[in-house]
Chain A
């Protein structure tokens, strides 16, 4: 069977900046493939190339068996796109947005009406099809985009952070639709996300950092490969704690989500030792088994939430750190 996506020695350069530095991977038909990485790691650039929105500098990529440069239109007919920022026309109704899409993609006129009903029912928007999109909630808009992305029956659906900015309840319902979709349609899903629980839904995950793929496997295999527990402590003086961990235990630690974070072989045995030798008072301790977040951190040096944090968040965190001194 032809792979849904196959990428070989792909590079992309923007002037001096090398955004993607020779990546290789394949996504099998029917697979749900997670593509993770910190901001600026080359994730968006890779997706742009796969969606034919940017040309590679060198190397090649095939989607649904077609070359993204030489057979651009064939690739476009076979992919559905849901981007993190909305691409709907707010002044049109839900149905008008989908009709626009059907005409752009040349969906046969006879197939349009039944297909429209099917995709809108799948995302629970059939009753709201006549309302102007501006009156939809954020979650409804995202669902409409998913319905639109499916309208022309693509073989590969690209979901670029499909739930970013949505509340947890809406995220759960969007995932219920995506899982339903996997059951119903013979489709490959190519997903990027900053939410760990969403990445767990993937059959396989690739992590990209500094333009290179640094890890690629099933979520289970990736977690097993880390093998270490994650310990997070909150102390009276985090900087002193970090120094102590380095000097007394030879451990590399960092401040993540406001907590001193590090990995050790066996967390529950390590923590008692920590209380004995830490020069600053410890306020709280948590030990966790390896999660995808740890996998992400061990390969990129960042937690996945850090990777998502906006510049505003980052500044606030720096400010708090300085304030404490």
Chain B
């Protein structure tokens, strides 16, 4: 190999006697945005080259929807009004789940980047740290939303209509959820340096988040302890608006609608959908701010 390298140098000395002058400009917001954009694009490039990940992360929601959904439907149909499929009922929750793992996994890549040294390449660059964190969160959110859109293609199987307004609403809500979840993951990744610890911790969070969110059951008439827990779970506040969107586009009588998609109540007060969505957005931004602050610390 050494001889080949030396040959390459001989060729070089002939054509490249003149240096190409590169003057790196002063730091500016535009420069930070360019940096954030490449961090975002890197997530997309890596997602594109990793088809296996796209397929495997769909396995879990598909299992939930078809196996659990079909298996429980006979049992659950007693509580459901005629014409409403159990799969339709759990579809919004399982849709939320389809981005849950991908979002957290995207954030885990920061821990990988740290272990493989690439994070250092980003941290020593002459840019503000927010550019890295924002790029990463948006990248994770985009990848997870694409994942969610693939699952959204299966809506028909769960008897959810392909209504453009409904689909756009759901994509918007998925994007918000993915962003908040990635911000949560990145915030944790700022502190947790080992991938094993990160994975263990996500396991600890992810399933309780999902089971307490009302993804699989309506949030009314629950025992007091479970009512409290479901109201604390941030995921509840996005699953509920998603279910609202789906049921708004179904022909279900109002009484049945009220029992299936009762909305979230705080001590009897009905939380409006807009407030619910805003809460998730605020949480996402707050965690983003914490993540940025964490990454700004130097030794």
Residues of A within 8 A of B (CB): 48, 51-55, 72-74, 76-77, 81, 83, 85-92, 96, 99-101, 103-108, 111, 114-115, 118, 121-122, 124, 132, 137, 139, 151-153, 169-170, 172-173, 176-177, 180, 184-186
Contacts and interface: CB of A to CB of B under 8 A. Distances in A.
B116 to A, nearest CB: 7
A93 to B, nearest CB: 9
Contacts of A104: 35, 38, 121-122, 125-127
Interface residues of B, number: 42
Contacts of B46: 91-92
B16 A121 contact: yes
B23 A76 contact: no
B116 A53 contact: no
B124 A76 contact: yes
B34 A106 contact: yes
Given A89-B42, A124-B9, A103 B117 contact: no
A114 B5 contact: no
B267 interface: no
Interface in B26-67: 27, 31, 34-35, 37-38, 42, 45-46, 49-50
A183 to B, nearest CB: 9
A59 B96 CA distance: 53
19 contacts: A76-B125, A86-B116, A89-B42, A91-B50, A92-B45, A99-B38, A103-B34, A106-B27, A106-B35, A106-B126, A111-B21, A121-B11, A124-B4, A151-B22, A170-B2, A173-B2, A176-B2, A177-B9, A184-B16
B21 A153 contact: yes
Contact of B124 (A52, A86, A91, A111): A52
B193 to A, nearest CB: 15
Contact of A55 (B1, B25, B121, B299): B299
A169 B45 contact: no
B191 interface: no
Contact of B35 (A89, A103, A121, A124): A103
Contacts of B298: 52-55
Given A54-B298, A100-B42, A105-B125, A180 B9 contact: yes
Nearest to A85: B117
A193 B125 CA distance: 24
Contact of A54 (B9, B38, B49, B299): B299
A36 to B, nearest CB: 23
Given A86-B117, A124-B8, A139-B1, A53 B299 contact: yes
B150 to A, nearest CB: 21
Contacts of B42: 89, 92, 96, 100
Contacts of B2: 169-170, 172-173, 176
